[in-house]
Amino acid sequence: MAAGGPSRSERKAAERVRRLREEQQRERLRQVSRILRKAAAERSAEEGRLLAESEDLVTELQGRSRRREGLKRRQEEVCDDPEELRRKVRELAGAVRSAKHLVVYTGAGISTWCLLTGLVFLLNMQAASIPDYRGPNGVWTLLQKGRRVSAADLSEAEPTLTHMSIARLHEQKLVQHVVSQNCDGLHLRSGLPRSAISELHGNMYIEVCTACTPNREYVRVFDVTERTALHRHQTGRACHKCGAPLRDTIVHFGERGTLGQPLNWEAATQAASKADTILCLGSSLKVLKKYPRLWCMTKPPSRRPKLYIVNLQWTPKDDWAALKLHGKCDDVMQLLMDELGLEIPPYSRWQDPIFSLATPLRAGEEGSHSRKSLRRSREEPSPGDQGAPLSSAPIRGGWFGRGCAKGTKRKRVT
């Protein structure tokens, strides 16, 4: 012990005093919180005096309450009434017609209402939908609440009305590029050219060999992410050319996407730099907002693209938007296509590009996965289809599997 310093007993006494003060502060906080929950008319004179003596605590607790209410309101879904939505869609149609370079940013909200038959999804809900992420029953929302998320068999998922509308708008040269956060591959399956899509977080149907130069890409007709997760990307198959292990293309939270395809960051950046109009469909924008290259932040505000947002919930870009439409993406896109006088092409499994792009498994690889394969016809199994529905099993890996859980630490595997 240094000369003149406190003795051990003095230090222990000081620690007891500190802990006692902290407990008294916590008890005072609990008392003030209980009083504030009461209506002013129901408070006793003693409680009134305690509030007056605890002005700092009252201010702190009221601030916490306002923040909680603000967060709660941001998670609520708001719908424009039909007439207001039609008025907004007419304004959006005018912006689409006059845009010189329109780029579309898409999120999970455009895939939520995919046509899936007879499948059980999140928890015990019966729904014909791919789960979204940040909605009231989204994957991230449920995981943060400690709720269990069940795997969804996506073999019956098809491009939605929104996917097909975007493909037609691109065909008509009204949309120049699509930047997607989704990993479900539905933009590719809608008929959009590969060059017109940037899948920033990967594609569940694509695995690549990074040992080949350029990277060799394998499109499959099944979900390749069955065995993968955060920092663990090997799919269990090997490159047909060099024999190196194949990896998935998914970018999880905490990872940086470096693959050329299907992320296609170069095209996304070029499209954003040229854009005079950006249409955001079904994205919370909580992740996209962190990519400054997509928002032309180096340009003065007057030269940045006009922003149009379609979402039922609050987004961090709402204040920047020229127009915010509170509606479901399919409803808005149906109205928009009607306003533009364009027919929405029906999705056809027989014409789905994934079947012509796909690389068949080699002999001996048929048992390398258990996910159900896509089929051109629902009645006839495709060759080598070894998959089985996984709808009742808890998620073990994949594009919305364990890699999504915050705070999960894993050994890095290259």
Which residues are known catalytic residues?
Answer: 201
* Helix axes 45-53 and 8-36, enclosed angle (nearest 10): 130
- How far does CA 199 lie from the centroid of its chain? 12
Q: What is the DSSP letter of 109?
A: G
Q: How far apart are CA 194 and CA 197, in angstroms?
A: 5
CA-closest candidate to residue 241, choices 194, 283, 209: 209
Sort strands 177-180 and 234-238 into parallel, antiparallel or unpaired.
unpaired
At 166, give phi and psi (nearest 5°). -65, -40
Q: How far apart are CA 96 and CA 278, in angstroms?
A: 10
Residue 127 in tokens: 């729904």
**Would residue 282 be called left, alpha or beta, if left means φ above 0 and alpha means ψ between -120 and 50 degrees?**
left
Q: How far apart are CA 200 and CA 249, in angstroms?
A: 10
Q: Which helix (H) or strand (E) holds 168?
A: helix 161-171
At 308, give phi and psi (nearest 5°). -125, 130
Q: How far apart are CA 293 and CA 273, in angstroms?
A: 8
Residue 263 in tokens: 């992320």
Sort strands 306-310 and 102-106 into parallel, antiparallel or unpaired.
unpaired
**C-beta neighbour count of 376 within 10 angstroms:** 15
Residue 214 in tokens: 């350029």
